[in-house]
Chain A
Amino acid sequence: MKRHPPRILVLAITLFTHPGNRKTLLGDLEEEYRYLAQEKGTFKADFWYLKQFIRPFLHFILNYIFWSFIMLRNYLKIALRNIRRHKGYHFINIAGLAIGMACAILILLYVEHELSYDKYHLDAGRIYRIANEQVTSNGNRYYSAIIAVMGPALKERFPQVEEMARIVRIEPRPVSYEDKIYMEEQLAFVDPTIFKMFKVETIRGDFENALIRPMTVIITESLADKYFGAVDPIGKMLVSNGQNFEVTGLISDPPENTHFKYGILGAFSTLLLPNPELPEGYYQSWNTGAHSSHTYLKLADGTDLNQFMEQVNALAYEKLKEELAQNGYEHHYFLQRLTDIHLQSHLRHELETPGNAQSITVLTVVGVLILLLACINFMNLSTARSAQRACEVGMRKVVGARRHQLIAQFIGESICMVLLTLVFAVILVALSIQFFNSTLGTQLALNTLYRPVILFYVGLLVIATSVASGSYPAFLLSSFKPIAVLRKSLTGGRKGTVARKVLATGQIAISIVLIIGSLVITRQISYMKNVPLGFDMEQKLIVMLPDFSMMTENYENIKAEYLKHPGIQGATASSSVPGRWMFYWRLYPTGMRQEKSQPLNFLNVDYDFLDLYKMDLIAGRTFDRSFGTDLSAPGWVINEAAVEAYGWESPEDALGIEMMDRRTPIIGVVKNFHFKGLQNVVEPLAMSMWSDHFRCFTLQVDVNTLDAAMPHIESVYQKFFPGALFDYFFLDVDFNRHYRSEEQIRTIFSVFTSMGIIIAILGLFGLTAFIAEQRTREIGVRKVFGASVSNLVISFSKEFGKWVLVANVIAWPLAYLAARQWLQNFAYRTSIGIDIFFISGIVAFLIAMFSTGFQILKAARSNPVDSLRYE
């Protein structure tokens, strides 16, 4: 027969009993258990023993819940009464915090989206892109793409490389199916292994053998919809450049958060077919120097990256020895984490304009600042009001509230308030997300709010805010002695006043920083837009030609046709236009390939290009019809930066120097002009005049008569390039795209700044109202002794004025440092004028005056009889 009660129950009872009587009680229970076990059996005894434990325990829990409910009802009642009594104050409090939270949540969504790039791929942590660095005497150049043969060589040579895939992005070109023709931008030729590297959702087709045969393509759902509608695209032919591509598969559209956005994926093997436009073996030789392929490697777990890259570089060196000797520069290869590419990689030939790490930093800072503003507000107002609840605390203590109950009450109350605010904030986010998306060009959706990361941060936010705003009343008020509180009634803590002043000053300081920030951004953008670029970009319509080759024979005819129309004042052709991509070419003075070779941006232009673009020639001449040799053996026109890069003393010295193996001379030097955005220094540039490389037609038009000229422009285009897609843009619009991300930042920044200012105004307004109310009697006494309204207003305003002054002193250096940091992103930047600081200081004063003045005036004008009779 069992002699012991169940051990687990013994343990449980031990845990829950008071140590004083524990042993005796356990002894009693065991004795009785044995007695019962003997008389009625073990089962009954066990049951009895269990009952001894359960009964008091249940009793305790039920009691606890019952009394908690009673107390909760009381807390709720008091809280609701409080809200009802101080509607205005609670409105200000909740509105301010809701706006701040909404801003923070939006920014959180955005930042989270930006940071999530390419993390969804399987084994994303082991995937790397291999990129190239060229060390030249003129600085290093970094390429995101490398020569095509490198990838397979690595896969073959190194066992660490589990998987290798290449992507060759090709420039936008028209693609047609039957009578539908569209300009396609997301074209790439890829290795079949792409599916093992990236997570691509397949819909239909044979993906075992996909992209192996040349001239086959896989297209995305939305593309299939565009070209084929309801028809099954598998097996259909897409036409581009006169070639037929067979569609063999259908995949989902790429998600928003990948740096490789695809529309049509072609088989890499297509590139290996003979191609008259390219040198033989372009994609198969080590010596082409063409950075064509974005190469991705999936490395085995635990690969030593440094060691691996050493081996890779050794291999590259061995293979590229000859070319190195010829060109006199070195190649290095390095790895980039797939997940870092979107934000961190800003190399040449990126697959997609990289993300804006800068805007993430700016927005995060702004988000934190605004949230801080809102929280300070919330805390300030909550604490200000809670001083009035000292009486309540005293009363509660008298009737027996324990301190932990009071703490729980206040913290709980502020948690409820913050949660309520959160609801409003989410509504605000839902209302404004559309605006945010259209401004930043993002695709944020509200449902991403449910992601664990976001929920985590929002939860943190709620807890932090409620603890911060609830902790003052919770911990300070609950520590008061009831007698002191009840006797002195309503003096409020002196400590609280100081803290409130500090917080309010901080709030104004944050507003000032935000104002300075948006002023600096605005100024930099208008600087960039108004600085003389060195060429004329007004009223220029650029027509893109479908192909290099189509131009040669017809060029003069096309130009003549265009000029026939009175609305077109000038026409010229070039390989590219300022603001658009130009390719690099290594140029060297004849016979000095090793010593003086420099990579230059290269532009092919027509005779009248420099005239039409109103560029300043500072030495020599431009291309000229009267020199017969300009057509057969065109010389070079370079810019000042190029003169500098070659180390020639002056522009005049450069004239006549013969270049390359053809020995064509430099005939002119043009003043530096900004053919890239002002974020970059003007790079060396060379222009020549090979008419078979023209790609863009520049038409000088008059905006007023453009409507009349447009049909003419298009009909000429269709006449010479039948069936081609008429592709055109305005130069100034196109060029200003460089500043899009800055303008986005400006818009967002100004919106958030306004939000911050609104929050600050709300806060100051609420605080003044509170202070004025607290000092009603003081004002009354002052008036009785003869103070005038203006005296009072001045004496009150002085105090707020002091805060604003201190806030300015704090904010200026901070804002200056931040602005300087941001301006480092630009090669050409505006100065941070002292006026910006004064303007923001004055704005801050006005804000403070505006938000406090009303209350002060109201208090000052009140009748002393009323205020003194108070109570």
Chain B
Amino acid sequence: MKELTKAEELLLLTIWRMGDQAYGVAIKRKIQASTGKDMPYGTLYFLLDQLTAKEYVYKIAGDPTPERGGRRKTFYKVTDQGIEALKNAADMVQKVWGDIDSLSFEGGVKSS
């Protein structure tokens, strides 16, 4: 099982949630909406390529549309391995966070 980075996890989850509508612009907006930060296309496509290489997502070519200057959209869909990886990630988070009842971090030591 290949590890997922935090950014990859975020992206993969977003794609999964978007279902059939996951393509470049839409993903970017969605991420901006959920995180409040702009993800440059460079980063976005780098991560998408990583995910594709890990076979967690696959590409489907869409129809050419006029608003894209006649170019096709590339839709991304999560593969079964991708879903597996997401589950694993969620499990891990669950395991690490699970037995903490409330978010009271009073025991923390301030880093100087």
Do these two chains really belong together in a complex?
Answer: yes
CB within 8 Å for A34 and B67 given contacts A24-B24, A56-B40 = yes
A137 cross-chain contacts in B, Cβ below 8 A: none
Contact A4 B69 (CB under 8 A): yes
CB within 8 Å for A27 and B40 given contacts A21-B45, A21-B49, A34-B67 = no
Closest approach, in angstroms, between the C-beta of B74 and any C-beta of chain A?
4
Tell me the chain A residues, 1-60 only, with Cβ under 8 Å from chain B.
4, 20-21, 23-32, 34-35, 52, 55-56
Instruction: Please name the residue on chain B nearest to A24 by beta carbon.
Output: B74
Closest approach, in angstroms, between the C-beta of B36 and any C-beta of chain A?
18
Contact A24 B71 (CB under 8 A): yes
B95 at the interface (CB under 8 A from A): no
Instruction: Please name the residue on chain B nearest to A4 by beta carbon.
Output: B69
- Chain B positions 53 through 83: 1 when the CB is less than 8 Å from some CB of chain A, otherwise 0: 0000000000001011101111000000000
Residue in contact with A31 in the complex, picked from B40, B45, B68, CB distance below 8 Å: B68
Contact A52 B41 (CB under 8 A): yes
Residue in contact with A27 in the complex, picked from B28, B42, B45, B71, CB distance below 8 Å: B71
Closest approach, in angstroms, between the C-beta of A218 and any C-beta of chain B?
76
State the total of A-B contacts with C-beta under 8 angstroms: 50
Q: How far is it, in angstroms, between the C-alpha of A31 and the C-alpha of B25 when the chains are bound?
A: 7
Residue in contact with A23 in the complex, picked from B28, B40, B65, B72, CB distance below 8 Å: B72
Closest approach, in angstroms, between the C-beta of A44 and any C-beta of chain B?
15
Closest approach, in angstroms, between the C-beta of B89 and any C-beta of chain A?
25
Instruction: Please name the residue on chain B nearest to A55 by beta carbon.
Output: B40
Contact B25 A28 (CB under 8 A): yes
Contact B40 A28 (CB under 8 A): no
Contact A32 B25 (CB under 8 A): yes
Q: How far is it, in angstroms, between the C-alpha of A21 and the C-alpha of B48 when the chains are bound?
A: 10
Contact B24 A28 (CB under 8 A): yes
Contact A27 B73 (CB under 8 A): yes
B74 cross-chain contacts in A, Cβ below 8 A: 24, 27
A56 cross-chain contacts in B, Cβ below 8 A: 40, 42
CB within 8 Å for A29 and B72 given contacts A21-B49, A34-B67 = no
Instruction: Please name the residue on chain B nearest to A26 by beta carbon.
Output: B71
Residue in contact with B73 in the complex, picked from A20, A24, A52, CB distance below 8 Å: A24
Q: How far is it, in angstroms, between the C-alpha of A31 and the C-alpha of B28 when the chains are bound?
A: 12
Q: How far is it, in angstroms, between the C-alpha of A35 and the C-alpha of B68 when the chains are bound?
A: 11
- Chain A positions 284 through 318: 1 when the CB is less than 8 Å from some CB of chain B, otherwise 0: 00000000000000000000000000000000000
B73 cross-chain contacts in A, Cβ below 8 A: 24, 27
Q: How far is it, in angstroms, between the C-alpha of A55 and the C-alpha of B73 when the chains are bound?
A: 24
Instruction: Please name the residue on chain A nearest to B70 by beta carbon.
Output: A27
B25 cross-chain contacts in A, Cβ below 8 A: 28, 31-32, 35
CB within 8 Å for A30 and B67 given contacts A21-B49, A24-B72, A25-B24 = yes
Closest approach, in angstroms, between the C-beta of B105 and any C-beta of chain A?
36
Contact A27 B69 (CB under 8 A): yes
The number of residues on chain A lying at the interface, defined by a beta carbon within 8 Å of a beta carbon of chain B, is 18
Instruction: Please name the residue on chain B nearest to A34 by beta carbon.
Output: B67
Contact A31 B72 (CB under 8 A): no
Q: How far is it, in angstroms, between the C-alpha of A32 and the C-alpha of B23 when the chains are bound?
A: 12
Closest approach, in angstroms, between the C-beta of B53 and any C-beta of chain A?
11
A30 cross-chain contacts in B, Cβ below 8 A: 67-69, 71
Q: How far is it, in angstroms, between the C-alpha of A23 and the C-alpha of B65 when the chains are bound?
A: 13
B71 cross-chain contacts in A, Cβ below 8 A: 23-24, 26-27, 30
Contact A28 B41 (CB under 8 A): yes
- Chain B positions 8 through 32: 1 when the CB is less than 8 Å from some CB of chain A, otherwise 0: 0000000000000001110010000
A52 cross-chain contacts in B, Cβ below 8 A: 40-41
Q: How far is it, in angstroms, between the C-alpha of A24 and the C-alpha of B75 when the chains are bound?
A: 10
Q: How far is it, in angstroms, between the C-alpha of A367 and the C-alpha of B102 when the chains are bound?
A: 89
Which one of B40, B71, B72, B73 has the highest number of Cβ atoms from chain A below 10 Å of its Cβ? B71
Closest approach, in angstroms, between the C-beta of A56 and any C-beta of chain B?
5
CB within 8 Å for A25 and B69 given contacts A31-B25, A56-B40 = no
Q: How far is it, in angstroms, between the C-alpha of A21 and the C-alpha of B73 when the chains are bound?
A: 11
CB within 8 Å for A25 and B72 given contacts A31-B67, A32-B25, A34-B67 = no
Closest approach, in angstroms, between the C-beta of A49 and any C-beta of chain B?
11
Q: How far is it, in angstroms, between the C-alpha of A55 and the C-alpha of B38 when the chains are bound?
A: 13
Q: How far is it, in angstroms, between the C-alpha of A29 and the C-alpha of B67 when the chains are bound?
A: 10
Closest approach, in angstroms, between the C-beta of A864 and any C-beta of chain B?
60
A55 cross-chain contacts in B, Cβ below 8 A: 40
Closest approach, in angstroms, between the C-beta of B42 and any C-beta of chain A?
5
Closest approach, in angstroms, between the C-beta of B85 and any C-beta of chain A?
22
B23 cross-chain contacts in A, Cβ below 8 A: 24, 28
Q: How far is it, in angstroms, between the C-alpha of A4 and the C-alpha of B74 when the chains are bound?
A: 20
Closest approach, in angstroms, between the C-beta of A600 and any C-beta of chain B?
94
B49 cross-chain contacts in A, Cβ below 8 A: 20-21
A29 cross-chain contacts in B, Cβ below 8 A: 41
Instruction: Please name the residue on chain B nearest to A5 by beta carbon.
Output: B69
Which one of B45, B69, B72, B74 has the highest number of Cβ atoms from chain A below 10 Å of its Cβ? B69
Closest approach, in angstroms, between the C-beta of A305 and any C-beta of chain B?
65
Q: How far is it, in angstroms, between the C-alpha of A32 and the C-alpha of B28 when the chains are bound?
A: 10
Q: How far is it, in angstroms, between the C-alpha of A26 and the C-alpha of B41 when the chains are bound?
A: 10
B42 cross-chain contacts in A, Cβ below 8 A: 56
Instruction: Please name the residue on chain A nearest to B41 by beta carbon.
Output: A25
Instruction: Please name the residue on chain B nearest to A20 by beta carbon.
Output: B49
Closest approach, in angstroms, between the C-beta of A830 and any C-beta of chain B?
80
Contact A26 B72 (CB under 8 A): no
CB within 8 Å for A26 and B69 given contacts A21-B45, A56-B40 = yes
B28 cross-chain contacts in A, Cβ below 8 A: 28, 32
Q: How far is it, in angstroms, between the C-alpha of A27 and the C-alpha of B28 when the chains are bound?
A: 13
Contact A27 B41 (CB under 8 A): no
Instruction: Please name the residue on chain B nearest to A56 by beta carbon.
Output: B42
Q: How far is it, in angstroms, between the C-alpha of A25 and the C-alpha of B46 when the chains are bound?
A: 12
Closest approach, in angstroms, between the C-beta of B21 and any C-beta of chain A?
13
Closest approach, in angstroms, between the C-beta of B3 and any C-beta of chain A?
23
B45 cross-chain contacts in A, Cβ below 8 A: 21, 24-25
B69 cross-chain contacts in A, Cβ below 8 A: 4, 26-27, 30
Instruction: Please name the residue on chain B nearest to A59 by beta carbon.
Output: B42
Q: How far is it, in angstroms, between the C-alpha of A4 and the C-alpha of B24 when the chains are bound?
A: 19
Q: How far is it, in angstroms, between the C-alpha of A445 and the C-alpha of B20 when the chains are bound?
A: 81
- Chain A positions 99 through 135: 1 when the CB is less than 8 Å from some CB of chain B, otherwise 0: 0000000000000000000000000000000000000
Tell me the chain A residues, 85-107 only, with Cβ under 8 Å from chain B.
none
Q: How far is it, in angstroms, between the C-alpha of A56 and the C-alpha of B68 when the chains are bound?
A: 22
B67 cross-chain contacts in A, Cβ below 8 A: 30-31, 34
- Chain A positions 122 through 158: 1 when the CB is less than 8 Å from some CB of chain B, otherwise 0: 0000000000000000000000000000000000000
Tell me the chain B residues, 69-110 only, with Cβ under 8 Å from chain A.
69, 71-74
A27 cross-chain contacts in B, Cβ below 8 A: 24, 68-69, 71-74
Q: How far is it, in angstroms, between the C-alpha of A813 and the C-alpha of B28 when the chains are bound?
A: 80
Closest approach, in angstroms, between the C-beta of A718 and any C-beta of chain B?
99
Which one of B25, B45, B68 has the highest number of Cβ atoms from chain A below 10 Å of its Cβ? B68
Q: How far is it, in angstroms, between the C-alpha of A21 and the C-alpha of B59 when the chains are bound?
A: 11
B40 cross-chain contacts in A, Cβ below 8 A: 52, 55-56
Instruction: Please name the residue on chain A nearest to B29 by beta carbon.
Output: A32
Q: How far is it, in angstroms, between the C-alpha of A55 and the C-alpha of B40 when the chains are bound?
A: 9
Q: How far is it, in angstroms, between the C-alpha of A507 and the C-alpha of B72 when the chains are bound?
A: 68
Instruction: Please name the residue on chain B nearest to A32 by beta carbon.
Output: B25
B72 cross-chain contacts in A, Cβ below 8 A: 23-24, 27
Q: How far is it, in angstroms, between the C-alpha of A23 and the C-alpha of B71 when the chains are bound?
A: 7
Closest approach, in angstroms, between the C-beta of B60 and any C-beta of chain A?
12
20 CB contacts below 8 A, A to B, read A4-B69, A20-B49, A21-B45, A21-B49, A24-B71, A24-B73, A26-B69, A27-B69, A27-B71, A27-B73, A28-B23, A28-B24, A28-B41, A30-B69, A31-B25, A31-B65, A31-B68, A32-B28, A34-B67, A52-B40
Given contacts A27-B68, A28-B68, A32-B28, 17 further A-B contacts (CB under 8 A): A4-B69, A20-B49, A24-B23, A24-B24, A24-B72, A24-B73, A25-B41, A27-B71, A27-B73, A28-B23, A28-B28, A28-B41, A30-B69, A31-B67, A34-B67, A52-B41, A56-B40
The 5 residue pairs across chains A and B that have the minimum distance between CB atoms: A27-B71, A28-B24, A27-B68, A24-B74, A30-B69
Please report B residues at the A interface, Cβ cutoff 8 Å.
Answer: 23-25, 28, 40-42, 45, 49, 65, 67-69, 71-74
